[in-house]
Amino acid sequence: MPHDNIRPSARFNDEDSNTSPNPGFDSVLDARLSRRGLLRGSAALGGAAALGGCATMAGPAAPVSALGFAPVARTLADQVTVPAGYTARVIYALGDPLTAATPAFSNDGTDVDYGNRAGDHHDGIEWFGMDAAGQPSDSFASRGLLAMNHEATTDEKLSSFFIHANGGTASLPRPAAEIDKELMIHGISVVEVQTDGKAWATKPGSAFNRRITTMTPVAIHGPARGSEHLMTKYSPDGTQARGTLNNCGTGRTPWGTFISGEENWFGYFFRDAKDDDARKKDKQVQALNRYGRKAGAASRHGWESGGTADTYARWNNSAVGTSAKDDFRNEMNTFGYIVEIDPYDKSQALRKRTALGRLGHENATFARAVAGQPVVAYMGDDARGEYIYKFVSTAKWDPADARPANRLAAGDKYLDKGTLYVARFKADGSGEWLELSMNNPVIAGSSYFVFRNEADIAVFTRLAADAVGATKMDRPEWGGVNPKNGEVYITLTNNSARTPATTDAANPRAYVDMKGSKEQKGNVNGHIVRLAEKQPADAAFLWDIYLFAAQADADKTTVNLSNLSDGNDLSSPDGLVFSQATGVCWIQTDDGAYTDTTNCMLLAALPGQRGDGASRTLSYGDKKVTTHVGRPQTAATLKRFLVGPKGAEITGITETPDGRAIFVNIQHAGENTKMSDVNDPSKYESQWPSNAGYGAGKRPRSATIVITKNDGGVIGT
Ligand code: FEO
Ligand code: CA
Ligand code: CA
Ligand code: CA
């Protein structure tokens, strides 16, 4: 189905493979819910407000009560615009060297050796402080490591055209030399940064600098380790894999490691047109369809066409050998996980934490860790009609693990054993976390898909969530936990497939918006849902819609339900990160709907709490949908802080512990440039960051910027 207003990168997020009949499971579910004695009413959440403090995060909290800057106006300028009194500088862009021996980036398509350079499409980012001796520090604010995702690459017709001299090859087969470069610009990087008190800069020769790519060795952890579904020619026992892919959102564990979510990995795999028959229509076929890879699916870059070497053959997910140990029919099952690295120790392989499920993972955000309680993480599956998940560890938090001798061993302890849940939202403003395990009779007895063990649930998580009747959401993206009260915010970026007939209380809008002369339909601008739990491990929650994104001029009874105005209107919220220093909720956009008026942006919010607004009823003909909206926004509670360059999405954000510097990622400026114009800068959609004085060449580059206040103060105050 065509999606005219989907921007180039987002076409891979707009997967719509959830055809599950899950509403039909309601009767089974309701019986089970009543057995559990679901908590109802706000009284049940009375304890939530007491969850103050910030035991595991850096620096003492100094919450701000007012946003002390003038909002940035909407703009289509090809630059990063920040408020008066602030300075934004580029410090780390695609291709920048990560070793002292790597040549400077020429940015004309001739560069190689991307395994020693910054990757492309900077996304989620996290700060890991270091003291003068190079030891991890939660308080040091002038030296640290930035760990970040390199999600994807700006492409057209198979080719990542900005990294090839003439734009590369737009047809099959693709030359191995082009593929070799593309394989290395995806993944994760770690780069050391420091400030001399005047300016931040990376350290290209730092021994901590690291690249992780599609080729880096990986250890499979959790219930899927050794599963028959992960056996490949590379790892016949299903315990190892190679690389990480389409890394989107990030997180930071209570024990000080970096978490990365694998999001649109399925699009990189080719499947033969006869593959359903070759697999004798086993249950993998149902799963492959559910994860967006029908037989005959073409791959995003044609990497499988580079030759017979495993490097290329692994991207052909077809059953072509005599068994799974002779081919790469299961290669796709080695992606789709939360991966963990120790940012301070590059000698350690990355670990895929399969207990957290196989999804189109955005990020994972952790509840405040409490001594003697499980560790809890919240996660979104970003595709149309997918779900919100929560992981609850079996091990109980030991505060001594906040500074463990072996950080990845702490990860093994808390992330390899636990229970995964999926959210079901009810119309009355309550909700329940539905257990995804063999202990749940709905899963153990499922005829929709046969689950035989916990490994099946870890690998085919979406099918388990279908079976229990989870609520289909409007593309769940980042989650963030409010340090003030423990409430969980999850962005729902937009959903072109939402119709009036499928609206529900938690996804209540389906409307028409014009972009020029084009009609855009569905939940065009997205919203942010907010969950309150008495304890993070609880099976029950209460919810409301913290914010409905909209144009300021949209109808306030049907679309602009949060009272947005010129200084704070937005579309397609995606990144959402709470400042641990100030409590400010940072919201970033990845939009294609309002881009006739403004480039994507970063906003600062001072959120209240769940239930601080009122119920609203929307009418669709005879159908009425009552939803629960947070308090209306004002010019004081939500302000636009930054607008990015043309074609760019604003992705990750992180901060120093003192709150005096923030690092923001700018992804795919100029992505609407045509491949045929690759050597004609006058036709580029964007020339950022070269037009900001950064680096050689005029080809646009994804990059990290640092923002400081000119008076040296705390950002946002
Ligand atoms: Fe990579 Fe869902 O954004
Ligand atoms: Ca519009
Ligand atoms: Ca995102
Ligand atoms: Ca997005």
609-643 pLDDT, tens digit each: 999 999 999 999 999 999 999 999 999 999 999 99
pLDDT, residue 2, reads 35
For 649-683, give one letter per residue: b (16+ CB within 10 A) or e.
bbbbbbbbbbbbbbbbbbbbbbbbbebeebeebee
| CB-ligand 1 contact for 381 (6 Å cutoff) | no
| Residue 30 scores a pLDDT above 60 | no
Alpha helices, DSSP H, located in 291-417: 310-313, 407-415
Picking from 91-105, 114-128, 280-294, 543-557, which range would have the lowest pLDDT averaged per residue?
280-294
pLDDT-derived band at 22, boundaries 50, 70, 90 = low
What gap in Å lies between CA 120 and CA 245, rounded to an integer? 12
Sign of the alpha-carbon torsion through 30, 32, 34, 40: negative
Q: How many whole angstroms from 24 Cα to the centroid of ligand 3? A: 31
pLDDT-derived band at 46, boundaries 50, 70, 90 = very low
| Residue 495 scores a pLDDT above 80 | yes
Q: What is the largest CA-CA distance in the chain?
A: 68
pLDDT-derived band at 6, boundaries 50, 70, 90 = low
| Residue 29 scores a pLDDT above 90 | no
Sign of the alpha-carbon torsion through 335, 340, 343, 346: negative
What gap in Å lies between CA 661 and CA 88, rounded to an integer? 10
What percentage of the chain exceeds 90 in pLDDT? 90
What are residue 144's DSSP bridge partners? 129, 193
| CB-ligand 1 contact for 386 (6 Å cutoff) | no
Instruction: Name the average pLDDT for the chain.
Output: 93
Picking from 14-23, 500-509, 512-521, which range would have the lowest pLDDT averaged per residue?
14-23
pLDDT, residue 419, reads 98
**72, 642 Cβ separation under 8 angstroms:** yes
| CB-ligand 1 contact for 13 (6 Å cutoff) | yes
CA angle centred on 635, ends 630 and 639, rounded to 5°: 90
Look at residues 393, 387, 328, 324 and name the one whose alpha carbon lies nearest to residue 360. 387
Q: CA of 456: how far to CAs of 176, 355, 492, 550, 650, in Å?
A: 35, 11, 28, 40, 36
| CB-ligand 1 contact for 474 (6 Å cutoff) | no
pLDDT, residue 150, reads 98
For 283, the 3-state DSSP assignment is helix
**333, 283 Cβ separation under 8 angstroms:** no
Q: Which residue has the tokens 């002390």?
A: 68
**Ligand 1 atom closest to the CA of 248, numbered from 1:** 1
Which residues lie near ion ligand 3 (Cβ < 5 Å)?
248, 574
Picking from 26-40, 119-133, 198-212, 323-337, which range would have the lowest pLDDT averaged per residue?
26-40
Which of left, alpha, beta for 243 (phi over 0: left; psi -120 to 50: alpha)?
left
What value does the mean pLDDT take over residues 121-140? 96
Helices 283-290 and 461-468 cross at an angle (nearest 10°) of 90
pLDDT-derived band at 9, boundaries 50, 70, 90 = confident
| CB-ligand 1 contact for 362 (6 Å cutoff) | yes
For 230, the 3-state DSSP assignment is helix
Picking from 188-197, 242-251, 279-288, 399-408, which range would have the lowest pLDDT averaged per residue?
279-288
What value does the mean pLDDT take over residues 705-710? 98
Q: CA of 51: how far to CAs of 34, 129, 368, 534, in Å?
A: 28, 26, 8, 9
Look at residues 644, 649, 488, 664 and name the one whose alpha carbon lies nearest to residue 126. 664
pLDDT, residue 10, reads 72
What value does the mean pLDDT take over residues 522-544? 98
**Residue of minimum CA distance from atom 1 in ligand 1:** 248
What digits encode the pLDDT tens for the residues 178-198?
999 999 999 999 999 999 999
| CB-ligand 1 contact for 574 (6 Å cutoff) | yes
Q: Strand (E) positions, 317-453?
A: 338-341, 350-353, 361-366, 374-381, 388-396, 418-425, 430-436
| CB-ligand 1 contact for 649 (6 Å cutoff) | no
What percentage of the chain exceeds 70 in pLDDT? 93
**48, 486 Cβ separation under 8 angstroms:** yes
pLDDT, residue 62, reads 75
pLDDT, residue 591, reads 98
pLDDT-derived band at 14, boundaries 50, 70, 90 = low
Q: What share of the chain is helix, strand, coil (3-state, %, to 5)?
A: 15, 30, 55
| Residue 55 scores a pLDDT above 70 | no
Q: How many whole angstroms from 135 Cα to the centroid of ligand 1? A: 32
Look at residues 243, 261, 336 and name the one whose alpha carbon lies nearest to residue 292. 336
What digits encode the pLDDT tens for the residues 531-540?
999 999 999 9
* DSSP conformational letter for 472: P
Q: Length of the chain, please? A: 717
* DSSP conformational letter for 298: P
pLDDT, residue 102, reads 98
What value does the mean pLDDT take over residues 453-460? 98
For 5-40, give one letter per residue: b (16+ CB within 10 A) or e.
bbbebbebbbbbbbebebeebeeebeebbeeeebbe
Concatenate the DSSP letters of all residues of 684-707 into one string: -S--TTGGGT-SSSSS---EEEEE
What digits encode the pLDDT tens for the residues 628-685?
999 999 999 999 999 999 999 999 999 999 999 999 999 999 999 999 999 999 999 9
| CB-ligand 1 contact for 248 (6 Å cutoff) | yes
| Residue 60 scores a pLDDT above 50 | no
- Which tokens belong to 423? 């959210």
Ligand nearest to the CA of 520: 2
**203, 193 Cβ separation under 8 angstroms:** yes
* DSSP conformational letter for 447: S
Concatenate the DSSP letters of all residues of 158-211 into one string: TB-GGGSTT----SSSPPHHHHHHHHHSSEEEEEEEEE-SS-EEE-TT-TT-EE
What digits encode the pLDDT tens for the residues 252-301?
999 999 999 999 999 999 999 999 999 987 889 999 999 999 999 999 99
Name residues whose C-beta falls within 8 Å of residue 603's C-beta, 6 or more positions apart in sequence: 568, 570, 586, 587, 588, 589, 638, 639, 640, 641
**Residue of minimum CA distance from atom 3 in ligand 1:** 248
| Residue 387 scores a pLDDT above 80 | yes
**Ligand 1 atom closest to the CA of 246, numbered from 1:** 1
Look at residues 319, 316, 285, 289 and name the one whose alpha carbon lies nearest to residue 301. 316
| CB-ligand 1 contact for 263 (6 Å cutoff) | yes
pLDDT-derived band at 381, boundaries 50, 70, 90 = very high
Name residues whose C-beta falls within 8 Å of residue 72's C-beta, 6 or more positions apart in sequence: 81, 82, 83, 601, 640, 641, 642, 643
- Which tokens belong to 579? 């400042």
**89, 706 Cβ separation under 8 angstroms:** yes
Strands 217-221 and 350-353: parallel
For 338, the 3-state DSSP assignment is strand
pLDDT-derived band at 57, boundaries 50, 70, 90 = very low
The total of other beta-carbon atoms located within 10 Å of residue 492's CB is: 27
- Which tokens belong to 632? 């209306």
For 130, the 3-state DSSP assignment is strand
**Ligand 1 atom closest to the CA of 362, numbered from 1:** 2
**Ligand 1 atom closest to the CA of 123, numbered from 1:** 1
